[in-house]
Amino acid sequence: MGGSFLLFSYLLSVFASLPSFTVVKADSDLTRPSFTPINRDLYHSSDDLIEQIKSLVHRHPDKLTVETIKAGNKGYTSEITVVTYCQSRKETDDKSKFRILLLIYDLRLVIAGVLDRLFIVFQSFGQHGRELITSELALRILSILSEEQFLPKMDQASLNGTLENVVIKVVPMENLNGRKLVEAGNLCERRNGRGVDLNRNWSVDWGKKEKDYDPYEENPGIAPFSEPETQIMRKLAISFDPHIWVNVHSGMEALFMPYDHKNRTPDGLPSQRMRLLLEELNNVHCHKRCMIGSGGGSVGYLAHGTATDYMHDVVRVPMSFTFEIYGDNTATLKDCFKMFNPVDHTTFKRVLNDWSAAFFTIFKLGPHQIDVHSKAAVSSMDKWVSIDEYFDGYLMGRRNRYGKKMEVLEVGMQEIRTYFRLFLLSSVLLLFMFCSRISKTGRQIVSAIPI
């Protein structure tokens, strides 16, 4: 009995002398990966950013205008804010109305030469919800255009001279619904509010899937232009008829030209001009870090149904680009905010300064790369998207809703197109004959008056 007590006392003293341990549960915070949250000190909320832009426009009505366009289908709605910069507001408004008039009546050859007085740049930011830095860049560019902020080492008088004949269309946040999902905590979301990748929803090579296709990343939707956001952007692109299109993203540092769905760039002089401009931007503003070439040939995978390929192949924009303005390759695949957006003030400021300056270089060099004033009527005609495009867009939307019942309607619409063209032709001929008759009658009256 006494021996057992001594042994028990000895074992108790041994255990007492051992270091203490803390039991950690397997699902505790120590075993979970650390994700970087949105830095609210650097980044605006989506609502605040749009409000800041509208306030900016309100303070500078002589240079800026803003409109909000809404669309929806099948219970899903979206809205896109569009800002227009022009030193001569009236000229821009008249010109935009003139382009829309042409699109409706398809009389492109009659007045083709009047439309090339201004150089139009169309920019889209925030197409993917998780890429917050792109919308901040849009706000920064608009602030510089309004002269509330300034580019380092740039003469303001020279800048104003550069912008004299340039119209700049800015979509600061194309994917508002997707952005709100990111702000709610889904930091890796790139798709829109119903799970469609807006940069796979355009019609050029739409729906083709590569071997590594990931529906979470690249869901193209049920049909080209099935999404209200892409429907709005398509109509904007057609009505603006830009000379330069830039789709701004983040995830790496790159300056891409078409094609995204092919492992090559387009042939000919336009392609050479695009590359020369990108090389200048890379040397001066990207510090030679940016990848240059076709999106499909440079990234390592092909992308089908992208906006830039549509702008190049269908809208015939002379210079169509995709810019990737930032990427952190040290971030893990699930640490999306850090991967796609600067997280510290120094890097944030550098990215905005470098890429703002790059865009103003585009505004300066673009008109020289494209001979705006010497376009032939045939070239202008090639760039216009005819009324067929509008009918096709209408039919696409109706087909998505009503399916096979649309076949009869399509046949009817084809006949309407034919009769519409005949009506236009006869109207123009009658107008020509009427004007000729008046001209001859006027000459006869004048000659009958005694001198």
383 falls within a domain:
no
158 belongs to a structural domain = yes
Whether 98 is in a domain gets the answer no
Query: pLDDT band for position 432 (50/70/90)?
Result: confident
Band (152; pLDDT cuts 50, 70, 90)? confident
Q: pTM higher than 0.85 for the full model?
A: no
> For 329, which DSSP code?
T
User: What pLDDT, on a 0 to 100 scale, did the predictor assign at position 117?
Assistant: 53
CB of 236 closer than 8 Å to CB of 311: no
Compute the mean pLDDT over every residue in the chain, rounded to the nearest whole number: 80
Higher pLDDT, 23 or 279: 279
Question: For 202-217, how does the pLDDT look when each residue is reduced to its tens digit (9 = 90+)?
Answer: 999 999 999 888 988 9
Please check whether residue 27 lies inside any domain of the structure. Answer: no
Domain with 73, as residue range(s), is 46-88+120-376
Domain count across the chain: 1
Joined together, the tokens standing for residue 94 give 């008249």
pLDDT, tens digit, for every residue of 266-288?
Answer: 999 989 999 999 999 999 999 99
- Which of the residues are catalytic? 324
- Note whether residue 152 is domain-resident: yes
Question: Is 206 contained in some domain?
Answer: yes
Query: b/e for 334-356, b at 16 or more Cβ within 10 A?
Result: ebbbbbbbbbeeeebeebbebbb
Locus of tokens 């001198």: 451
Let me know if residue 6 belongs to a domain. Answer: no
Terminal C-alpha separation, the chain: 153
Read off the pLDDT of residues 329-383 as tens digits, 9 standing for 90 and up.
999 999 999 999 999 999 999 999 999 999 999 999 988 887 654 443 334 444 4
- Tell me if 433 is assigned to some domain: no
**Sequence-ordered alpha helix ranges (H) in 257-385:** 269-284, 295-298, 307-313, 336-340, 345-369, 377-383
Q: How far apart are CA 308 and CA 235, in angstroms?
A: 15
Write the CATH number for 138: 3.40.630.10
CA-wise closest residue to 291 among 261, 319, 251, 331:
251
Given a cut of 90, whether residue 430 has pLDDT beyond it is no
Tokens of 373: 């004033």
